Amino acid sequence: MNRTFKFNTLYIGILLLALAFSSCTSSKQLAIQKSKTAQLSRKLGFTVNRKDDLPLLEEVSRWLGTPYRYGGTTRTGADCSGFVGAVYKNVYHKSLQRTVVNIYNKDCQRIGKHRLKPGDLVFFNFSKRKKRTLNHMGIYLKNGYFAHASTSKGVMVNHLSENYYKKGWRKSGRVW
Q: What's the pTM value of the predicted model, to 2 decimals?
A: 0.82
CA 148 from chain centre, in angstroms, equals 11
Number of H helices, E strands in the chain: 5, 8
148 is catalytic: yes
Rounded to whole angstroms, the Cα distance separating 43 from 5 reads 57
Catalytic residue chosen out of the listed positions 80, 108, 114, 159: 80
Contact between 171 and 115 (Cβ < 8 Å): no
Contact between 111 and 174 (Cβ < 8 Å): yes
80 is catalytic: yes
Catalytic residue chosen out of the listed positions 93, 108, 114, 136: 136
pLDDT one digit per residue (tens) for the chain, 176 residues? 566 666 566 566 665 555 555 555 566 666 767 788 999 999 999 999 999 999 999 999 999 999 999 999 999 999 999 999 999 999 999 999 999 999 999 999 999 999 999 999 999 999 877 777 899 999 999 999 999 999 999 999 999 999 999 999 999 999 99
Catalytic residue chosen out of the listed positions 24, 108, 148, 159: 148
